[in-house]
Structure 1
Amino acid sequence: MQPPMAQVQPGPSQVEEVEWNTALLDCFEDPGTCCYGFWCGPCLACTVSGRMKECYCLPLCDYCTTSAMALCGLPFAVPPAAYGMRVALRHKYKIKGSLLNDLCVSCCCTWCSWCQMHRELKLRNPKPTVISIQNVSTLHL
């Protein structure tokens, strides 16, 4: 009979959490995103959703939810897409925060939240630079 083998249990992984690259109200860090969010907020939200590899139309759920709540006479509704995207983005990039903070920001500063998420994605996933290289060969005689 063999003695039982000792099993090594991995300890909790300590992942260093980072801050957001820009603050919630840092519109002047990226005026283009700020203008995009101000003039066409739903389009900005759909862009963020697409960059997160989700359905582009997902943020439209927020309009349906808040409209239905308003029709029922309830003045307050949690925008599910804004909240879910914020939580997902924060977890994906290991950004400091809490579910309660995400909830408050998503409910009270929805458009600022979408702008902050857009800036974060732009800074973390810049568009690739295409470099064209031509082969030049010379014939030496």
Structure 2
Amino acid sequence: MMTSKMVIHQPQPVMEAQDSDEWVSGICDCFDDVPECCFAFWCCPCFACKTTKDYGQCLCLPLLDMFGFIPAVTMSMRVSMRQRYGIKGNMCKDCLFATCCNSCTWCQMSKEMKRRNIQVVLVGAKNT
């Protein structure tokens, strides 16, 4: 009796690697995008919600930061972004920036997403 095995390979998402392991802008580089930084400064909760949604998370997630001294959502978003894009850093700096420079931190993360803009490409997928 002969048995045969069928193997099916599904296409997997592939992410392009970026060369830099640093943030594309500094924490206080507000003049790179003045309108965005003004929006982040004058209406940080709205800006944070918009950035979180663009990142693929729940729109209202940053509103939870209002209930604590350390903005845990801002810090966790920064950590997540560092890991996604392979940016060097540590949680101590993430906590410091999230606590002391909240609107600057959200502005930096928004600029990072815009400049890196890594798209997921399905290898071997057919266009329909």
TM range (shorter): 0.7 to 0.9
User: CA–CA distance in 1 between the matches of 2:100 and 2:50?
Assistant: 21
Change (3 A) 1:100 1:17: farther
Partner SS state of residue 92, structure 2: helix
Identify which of 109, 113, 116 aligns with 1:117: 109
1:32 counterpart residue number? 35
User: CA–CA distance in 2 between the matches of 1:85 and 1:22?
Assistant: 17
Task: Note the C-alpha offset of 1:36.
Answer: 1.1
Structure 2, unpaired ranges of 5+: 1-18, 119-128
Give the TM-score of the pair, scaled to structure 1: 0.67
Identify which of 59, 82, 90 aligns with 1:90: 82
Deviations 1:82-106 (A, max 9, x none): 0110000010000110011111111
Q: Tell which structure's C-alpha radius of gyration is larger.
A: 1
Task: Note the C-alpha offset of 1:39.
Answer: 2.2
User: CA–CA distance in 2 between the matches of 1:40 and 1:108?
Assistant: 16
2:22 counterpart residue number? 19
Is the contact between residue 41 and residue 104 of structure 2 (CA under 8 Å) also seen in structure 1? no
- Name the count of aligned residue pairs: 100
Q: CA RMSD in A?
A: 1.6
Task: Note the C-alpha offset of 1:112.
Answer: 0.8
Task: Note the C-alpha offset of 1:125.
Answer: 2.0
1:62 counterpart residue number? 65
Partner SS state of residue 78, structure 1: coil
Identify which of 45, 49, 56 aligns with 1:42: 45
Give the TM-score of the pair, scaled to structure 2: 0.73
Residue 115 of structure 2 aligns with an amino acid whose one-letter code is L
Residue 60 of structure 1 aligns with an amino acid whose one-letter code is L
